[in-house]
Amino acid sequence: MSNTATQQQKQSSIAMLVITFLYRIYMLFIVFPLFLFASILTALTTTIGCQLGNGHFWGYYPGKWWSWFTIRILFLPVKIEGRENLDPKQSYVF
């Protein structure tokens, strides 16, 4: 009984090592270049947009889109609890 539990534990740890390795490769070759490009694009868009006018729009939406993109490419789970307490006319930072 103990032998099968130990064997399953070893298989589980090997699987986790493989998944961790693959995720790090994904981070290095896919996420990092996309993140760098998105960050530069967001900074330029925000700077130029604010110089041209309507700073409230350009100061908010490019950063919002950048953060949405970053969360998605990193596969980060987001769970919001208590939505019933939110005011729909107000902006929130989670």
Please report, as a single letter, which amino acid is at residue 28. Answer: L
The H or E element that residue 2 is part of is helix 2-26
Rounded-to-integer distance, Cα 77 and Cα 75, Å: 6
pLDDT tens digit sequence for 8-53:
787 888 999 999 999 999 999 999 999 999 999 999 999 999 999 9
What is the 8-class DSSP label of residue 87?
-
Q: Into how many domains does the chain fold?
A: 1
Question: What are the helix (H) ranges across 1-94?
Answer: 2-26, 32-52, 55-73
Query: Does 46 fall in a domain?
Result: yes
Query: Does 59 fall in a domain?
Result: yes
Query: Does 79 fall in a domain?
Result: no
Rounded-to-integer distance, Cα 66 and Cα 70, Å: 6
Domain that holds residue 51: 28-74
pTM: 0.74
Query: Does 88 fall in a domain?
Result: no
Confidence of residue 6 (pLDDT cuts 50, 70, 90): confident
Q: Using an 8 Å Cβ cutoff, are 60 and 42 in contact?
A: no
